[in-house]
Structure 1
Amino acid sequence: MSPTVLKKLKLKTRMILVLGLVSAFQTGLIGGFAWYYLSDSLDEEIGQRALMVAKTIAAMPEIITGVQRRDVDSLQALSQKLAATNEALFIVIGDHNAIRLAHPNPDRLGHSMADDDGDTGAIALEQGQGYVNKALGSLGLSMRGKAPIIDLAGEEIIGIVSVGYSLDQVRSTIARYNLVLFTVMALMLLGSVAAAIVIAGRFKRAIFGLEPEQIARLFEERDATLQSVREGIIAINREGIITTFNRTAIETLGLMPETRLSGQPITNVLPESGLPKVLGSGEPEFDQEVWLKGRHMIVNRLPVKQGSDIIGVVASFRPRDELDQVSRQLTRIQQYADTLRSQTHEYSNKLHTIAGLIQIGATDEALALIGSEVSDHQALIHLLLEAVPDPVIAGCLLGKYNRAREMGLKLIIDPGSRMMTVPEALPRDQLVSVLGNLIDNALEATRQQHSSGGEVHLSMSDLGHDLIFEVEDQGPGISLDDQERIFEKGFTSKPGINHGIGLHLVRSFVDRWGGSITLERLPQSGTRFTLYLPKRPTQSMSVVEETDR
């Protein structure tokens, strides 16, 4: 069968054919060897038996005396009797010249033993040694054993004995064995084909019924997918050996481009990876912040299971600064959107009111409303320009002020607030995200208690070694039980989904910067959050900032 035709067959059929042919070849080879070995062994066994009988007869006193006396009659009778006793085809006795003194065919008496096969018995008569040979004589193909006859004194070779066994008997014996042998070979072949069918079926199920070409295509697609993913990916097996990685993993970890990770223990390459822990526990871990090769990473670890057995772990990771950049952009867009929406809504209402006052001729009231609006905004802008020169923080507060007015609430910034010495190392996007989350939570809590007219108070101070922010709301307050869990990811007291993230992010940032945040329930109602941020960050945050730069 040509390779082209073989490739067109399905994998299961190919495996059955190949395994069947291999089994047939092996069975035939073993059977042929067994047949040859059996035939050769039987020939040797018959030859040794003929030689042993020949030596035994040659040592019999009656034979020795009969040869010395050339007593043909007694030797003839004795040879026939011994041939029948030993089930031999013939027993021939000759003198020292190899002249027959006894033979199954009386007509051949007195003639040379060389008449049968050309063998004069020189080895036995001249060298005094017994031997075995195979020859075709007057009685057919036989295995012969020949031994010298030595006189009773043991000094002179006086004759020779030739004992023959028909090889036709050997062939009939081999034929009987062959029947058993071929039967066993056929059963072995059938068993091998059955085993090939079972093995091929199990193998096909193990590879989900896919053909080799499909597996090759999937492997190429998998490799292309791995290389196209912009997250680093590393997989280990149950022994903790790296089996899979992509180019992004090499680049993200700062390794040499030609580095090959496959086959290396994960503990040697990334001792801090945490993959052996997941391999032991079997519990997935998502969005974990870790340090790998001196870089702050966001890591996901997922165990790979085969049934209930854990056979490995896959990890994906990317630098935190990439996520921070996306977060920064989203935060700014959100701030701009909130500010524009608030201002649009608020000024639309004010313009409608002013237009109505003018239409009814209440110009003084219209002018007063315009002056009040300008006065409030001017006071806020003046305060922010004097106390908060940082434009990002000032813009955030202005946006939250407008957001509060849109909700029918007031955001009151303590006139004595001062935030002049914000350290350059402090990420502005993360700071406004933290401050914005605290204010948004305060506004939501206040709105629960006051549909309109509620107030949220903010005070800021940069005196001493810390930046201090205090946010007070007029909400229902936070119970003691909830105070223990308020910063947990996903915990919220608000209805609906997509809550429980803001305060968790606040706490994460504060912890990384080395600050602290406290909360207390106010006597009447509401909650006060106090945020402390040191002007000098912790060592870990310094490393992050240096990496970001």
Structure 2
Amino acid sequence: MIWMNQLKLRTKINLLVFLIVGVVVLLTIASIEYLTIERQFDEAGQRALMLARTTAALPETVQAFASPDSVLKLQTLVETIRQKTGAQFIVIADMDQIRIVHPSPSEIGKHMVGEDNGLVLEGQDSITMATGTLGRSIRGKTPIRDASGQQIGIVSVGFLVTAVWRQIGLNLLWIASTGFVALLCGLLGAYLLSGSIKKQLFNMEPFEIAYLAREQSAILESIREGIIAVNSHGDITTCNHEASKMIGLDAREVIGEPIRSILPHSRLPEVLLQGTPHYDQPMIIGNTLVVVNRVPVTTEGRVIGAVASFRDKQQLDQISHRMSDIGRYVDTIRSQRHEFMNKLHLISGLIEMKDYELAKNIIEEVNHDYQSTLDFFLAHIKDPAIVGILIGKLHKAKELSIPLHIDPSSSVPNLVSHRELVITFLGNTIENAFEAINAESETAARKTHPDADRQADIKVYLYEEPERLTVSVRDTGPGIDPALGRSVLQDGVSTKGEGRGTGLALVQRLAANAGGTISVRSSSEGTELKMILPKEGVEKSES
């Protein structure tokens, strides 16, 4: 029903508990009332029968049948017993059902009414309910026997049904009062229970919890990081799509499994035990190197679980490298602006001095340099993205006063395959060459380098063949430490100190994924890095 959906959780709990307790109390009261009524009527019948037996056993009763003069005495005795026991009537009659004792003297000598004397006339006790001269009553009847055992009369003792019901009403009132108290206790318990549940649910309604759960599920599945959560026993409780993809198992297969059975080297159990978070920790999941963050989940100072988030380090390296490229592009634009400003200032000064001829020559020289560069690229390299990175590096090289040459034999007649990879390779290797030559120049300036007079130079070569693309960058820097060798292509290995060594490692992995190779050749004369990539659609030949 719509109105039920609009009720708050606490109200629903209170109503539900009220209904449950109310139904239980009503059923209990009904059962007790039924048993009470049945017991009261049964007890009334048993009391009537017992009182009848007692009266029948009196010597005065038997004597009254033998001596009519004793009837008056028996009437007085029986009336006294009736008043003390609370019976409505005690009637004594002969075998013809003619009353000889009755509470109302006017009824003495008359025939008994009720038509319920069949069993007692046969000599058996009976408990019946019938309507007599005094009203409807519960009756206990027993035979009167003389000394020889011969039945000489009957005794009938009765309690009015109205009197029984009056006693039952008093009992039921007490039972109903008890039930009402129980119902109040149930309502109090419902109120306390609903308050406790709301507190544990942070005072949120079910629809809010459902929305939050769906929202968190959507968040978990939308982020690019793998997420795994465990409870206090180390069993997996959450595993999003990205995490299951890295693990290589469906999320439904890992839920409920111990974390160590899925990831044997996981350190989440340590986080559960120590309650200490781990940030940016390397870890291998399957065949993927990831960076992991692990944090404990605590409540009231107690660790109840832990969450690990991890992402492919290669993806992070790509992001970092792209950010570095943006920085380099900005530097290139800045250096280009700086160079043009210098030229403009020079031309402006010459015009102020009215040296128009020299100003014209400088303009023609600048135009010739840029036009010749542009003509070269238009003739030899057709990919605009490659041209863009190379022009940027040429401007920076000019600002750093480092000769940067594009090999005249270079040829890229089409848009290159693996463009991003080629740009990344050129960006990293040319920047490394700039840094190497600058470092050598600083060393030479301190007159500690044996090759201080060697001419600095960087040469770039690109050549596209039908089945592969070759890209190389050679510099005349100090070379790579022979102790490093090809390990310079590994992650974290660098000649420039800590925090470096990710660029070439990233390029190495990307090239390997594309089916290409990177080679390093280095000596005291300089360093050359060469990358060979297969063209897309061409299978790599087996060696």
Q: TM-score range by the shorter chain?
A: 0.5 to 0.7
Shift of 1:229: 1.5
**Which of 212, 237, 255 lines up with 1:218 in the alignment?**
212
Rounded Cα–Cα distance in structure 1 between residues aligned with 2:162 and 2:93 = 25
Contact 1:51/1:163 (CA < 8 Å) preserved in 2? yes
Equivalent of 1:400, from 435, 441, 447?
Answer: 435
Q: Is the 8 A contact 1:460 1:467 kept in 2?
A: no
What is the TM-score of this pair, normalised by structure 1? 0.60
Aligned residue number for residue 89 of structure 2:
90
* Corresponding residue number in structure 2 for 1:100: 99
Give the equivalent residue in structure 2 for 1:316: 309
Match of 1:160 in 2: 154
Residue 214 of structure 1 aligns to a residue whose secondary structure is helix
8 Å contact kept, 1:414–1:458: no
| 3-state SS, counterpart of residue 498 of structure 2 | helix
Q: Which residue of 2 aligns with 1:136?
A: 131
**SS of residue paired to 1:288:** strand
Q: Which residue of 2 aligns with 1:283?
A: 276
Q: CA deviation at 1:400?
A: 0.5
SS at match of 1:503: coil
Secondary structure in 2 aligned to 1:136? strand
- Alignment of 1:148 with 2:143, yes or no, is yes
Residue 224 of structure 2 aligns to a residue in which SS?
coil
Q: Which runs of 5+ in 2 are unaligned?
A: 350-354, 359-397, 408-424, 453-476, 506-543
Shift in CA distance, 333/34, structure 1 to aligned 2, threshold 3 Å: same
Distance 2:487 2:341 in 1: 36
Amino acid at match of 1:237: N
Seen in structure 2, the aligned counterparts of structure 1 residues 393 and 286 have a Cα distance that, compared at 3 Å, is: closer
Instruction: Show the 5 A alignment for 1:329-348.
Output: 329=322
Question: Which deviations, in whole Å up to 9, do the C-alpha atoms of 1:462-508 show, x marking residues without a partner?
Answer: 47x96699xxxxxxxxxxxxxxxxx9xxxxxxxxxxxxx9626679x
1:304 and 2:297 are equivalent in the alignment: yes
Q: Percent identity?
A: 35
Distance 1:110 1:272, change over 3 A: farther
Map 1:66-85; keep pairs closer than 5 Å. Answer: 66-67=64-65, 72-85=71-84
Q: CA deviation at 1:284?
A: 1.5
Stretch of structure 1 that moved more, 172-181 or 399-408: 399-408
**Normalized against structure 2, the TM-score is what?**
0.61
Quick one: structure 1 residues 58 and 320, their matched pair in 2 at CA, closer, same or farther if it must change by over 3 Å?
Answer: farther
Distance in structure 2 (CA, Å) of the matches to 1:38 and 1:152: 40
- Name the counterpart of 2:198: 204
Q: Aligned partners of 1:158, 1:224: CA distance in 2, in Å?
A: 97
The reply to whether residue 125 of structure 1 matches residue 160 of structure 2 is no
The one of 34, 48, 51 equivalent to 2:49 is 51
- 8 Å CA contact retained: 1:413, 1:459: no
Looking at structure 1, the residues matched to 451 and 65 of structure 2 have their Cα atoms a distance apart, in angstroms, of 149
Number of matched pairs: 411
Offset of residue 231 of structure 1 = 1.6
Cα distance change of structure 1 residues 269 and 160 upon mapping to structure 2, 3 Å threshold: farther
Corresponding residue for residue 493 of structure 1: none
Structure-2 separation of matches of 1:134 and 1:12: 53
Q: Distance in 1 between matches of 2:3 and 2:344?
A: 85
Distance 1:256-1:139 versus aligned 2 partners, 3 A rule: same
Deviation at 1:88, TM superposition (A): 1.7
Residues 409 and 185 of structure 1: CA distance in aligned 2, closer, same or farther (over 3 Å): farther
Instruction: Classify the secondary structure of the residue corresponding to 2:283.
Output: strand
- 8 Å Cα contact 2:443-2:449 kept in structure 1: no
Q: Is the 8 A contact 1:142 1:167 kept in 2?
A: yes
Q: Cα deviations across residues 448-475 of structure 1 (Å, max 9, x unaligned)?
A: xxxxxxxxx9664547x96699xxxxxx
Q: Is the 8 A contact 2:99 2:108 kept in 1?
A: yes
**CA contact 1:342–1:403 (8 Å) conserved in 2:** no
Q: In the alignment, which residue of structure 1 is the partner of 2:521?
A: none
Deviation sequence 1:503-548 (CA, Å, 0-9, x none): 26679x99xxxxxxxxxxxxxxxxxxxxxxxxxxxxxxxxxxxxxx
Q: Return the alpha-carbon distance in structure 2 between the equivalents of residues 140 and 277 of structure 1.
A: 87
Give the distance between the partners of 2:342 and 2:444, measured in 1 at CA: 15
Output the amino acid matched with 2:218. A
1:223-262 matches, cutoff 5 A: 223-256=217-250, 259-262=252-255
CA distance in 2, matches of 1:293, 1:60: 104
In the alignment, structure 1 residue 273 sits paired with structure 2 residue 266: yes
Cα distance between partner residues in 2 of 1:197 and 1:379: 82
Relative to structure 1, is the Cα distance of residues 193 and 377 closer, same or farther in structure 2, using a 3 angstrom cutoff? Answer: closer
Q: Is the 8 A contact 1:89 1:166 kept in 2?
A: yes
Structure 1, unaligned stretches of length 5 or more? 362-372, 383-389, 417-456, 470-486, 488-500, 511-549
Q: Secondary structure of the residue that 1:36 maps to in structure 2? A: helix
Give, in whole Å, the separation in 1 of the partners of 2:26 and 2:11: 22
1:5/1:94 CA distance change after superposition, 3 Å: same
- For residues 21-40 of structure 1, what are the structure 2 equivalents within 5 Å? 21-40=19-38
